[in-house]
Amino acid sequence: MNILYLNHYAGSPQLGMEFRPFYLAREWVRAGHRVTLVAADFSHVRARQPLAGREVVEGIDYRWIATPPYKGNGVGRARNIWTFLSTVWRQAQALVDECRPQVVIASSTYPMDIWVARRLARLARARLVYEVHDLWPLSPIEIAGMPRWHPFILLCQRAEDTAYRDADVVISMLPRVHDYMASRGLDLARLHIVPNGITLDEWQGRPAPLRDDVAQAMAAARAAGRMVVGYAGSMGRPNALHTLLDAARLLAGAPLQLVLVGDGHEREALARRIAGEGLSHVSLLPPIPKAQIPAFLAAIDIAYIGWQRVPIYRFGIAPNKLMDYMMAGCVVLHAVEAGNDPVAESGCGFTVAPESAAAVADGLLRLAALPAAERAAMGGRGRDFVMAHHTYPVLAERFLQAVS
């Protein structure tokens, strides 16, 4: 099968997020399919940017579309999105002639790529698949407070409705979307749930060693007799890391060291708080390569993930970092209120209220007080859960069965 996968933010282990398109595409290539992955050459979520043009990575045929760089969520990002979509629109016939896709997947976070993907699918007489990461425009409405009459929101709504009307198949990473999508016109017979997961390759053999600054932070915490609470991932508003710093203030006398590794829009504000409030038991470090994540998670005692308290999570969550935490056998503190909770489902840690510093501090103290053997048993349950339900060979096959 020839698959054309349109994902503005697609990355790779060498470049950084997003990882899901790479992992799915690699499994499809391994199964004998041909995959062309079309992405922008600039994305704010990547650690490193590729060169515009064509590149083959582990059998995946990447097409990096030249786009202008940007910072933040303003006009620059809008220009980047427009450039990407308009360029692929113009190149649609050439892409179809060369790739001859039988399946076209629209998979960017924003929904406007459905119009470009629909053009590609119609030219190729291919099946059109709409892959949902987050519910747009509902996410910016409920998380960022954007008004429903905002032109950007109206544009997103029109695109989402087009997707639910015209896509042959809708794949959602979120598990509790049925009622909402039906309310927007989707025939639920076309809906399939394929969540995020892990790739087994990265968890086999000896992990890549930690970068020196991260290893030194771990060693200093151990030397001071502290347990390590780790966080690895994006540092944006949805990750609610300011709540973790609020909890850190309450934990000033506890034998805990918080080690936060990553990057994002909130990183500078977090750094200012750590310095200004004298949070010496919090270490804020730059992002590490994906290959070092197993070593990082093996070195910590408790893994943390938190969320804002927003209604949008009633539709469920599908965080990549949580899958990594669980695969590593970490005991997890999860600060969330959502339609699903893999931590509670698997029994791999404690779940506490989101955006509550007191609840986060209490949860960390309760986990730290458990015997090491009990924490290890909880972490083992998380790993078993991921192996049963969230490995990419399983997910890639589920995806293909849905679109075939």
DSSP string, 245-302: HHHHHHTTTSSEEEEEEEESTTHHHHHHHHHHTT-TTEEEE----GGGHHHHHHH-SE
Please write the tens of the pLDDT for every residue from 257-284: 999 999 988 999 999 999 999 999 999 9
Contacts of 220 (CB under 8 A, 6+ apart): 257
Quote the pLDDT of residue 320.
87
- Residue 402 is assigned to a structural domain of this protein: no
Are 206 and 187 within one domain?
no
Domain boundary among 173, 193, 213: 193
Are 205 and 185 within one domain?
no
Quote the pLDDT of residue 401.
96
Quote the pLDDT of residue 74.
86
Are 223 and 368 within one domain?
yes
Please write the tens of the pLDDT for every residue from 314-362: 999 998 899 999 999 999 999 999 999 999 999 999 999 999 999 999 9
Quote the pLDDT of residue 145.
87
Are 263 and 383 within one domain?
yes
- Count of structural domains, the chain: 2
Cα 284 from Cα 260, distance rounded (Å): 5
Are 217 and 174 within one domain?
no
Are 34 and 179 within one domain?
yes
| Inter-helix orientation angle 151-166/113-124, to 10° | 30
Are 125 and 18 within one domain?
yes
Domain boundary among 128, 159, 193: 193
Count CA within 13 A, CB hemisphere, residue 6: 33
Cα 297 from Cα 264, distance rounded (Å): 20
- Residue 153 is assigned to a structural domain of this protein: yes
Quote the pLDDT of residue 72.
80
Cβ distance 173 to 402 under 8 Å? Answer: no
- Residue 172 is assigned to a structural domain of this protein: yes
Are 255 and 170 within one domain?
no
- Residue 250 is assigned to a structural domain of this protein: yes
Are 163 and 291 within one domain?
no
Domain boundary among 193, 214, 244: 193
What is the per-residue DSSP string for 82-126? HHHHHHHHHTHHHHHHHH--SEEEE--SSTTHHHHHHHHHHHHT-
Phi/psi at 317 (5° precision): -130, 155
Quote the pLDDT of residue 395.
96
Quote the pLDDT of residue 201.
85
- Residue 328 is assigned to a structural domain of this protein: yes
Quote the pLDDT of residue 96.
98
Are 189 and 205 within one domain?
no
For the chain, percent helix, then strand, then coil, each to nearest 5? 45, 20, 35
Quote the pLDDT of residue 121.
98
Residue tagged 């893999």 (tokens): 342
**CATH number of the CATH domain containing 39:** 3.40.50.2000
pTM: 0.87
- Residue 344 is assigned to a structural domain of this protein: yes
Quote the pLDDT of residue 17.
85
- Residue 315 is assigned to a structural domain of this protein: yes
What is the per-residue DSSP string for 305-347? EE----GGGGG----HHHHHHHHTT-EEEEE---S--HHHHHT
Are 56 and 136 within one domain?
yes
Low-confidence ranges of the chain (pLDDT < 50): none
Contacts of 190 (CB under 8 A, 6+ apart): 167, 168, 169, 170
Domain of residue 90: give its range: 2-193
- Residue 396 is assigned to a structural domain of this protein: no
Are 282 and 351 within one domain?
yes
Classify residue 17 by burial, with Cβ atoms within 10 Å: 0-12, 13-18, 19+.
buried
Cα 351 from Cα 334, distance rounded (Å): 5
Count CA within 13 A, CB hemisphere, residue 183: 7
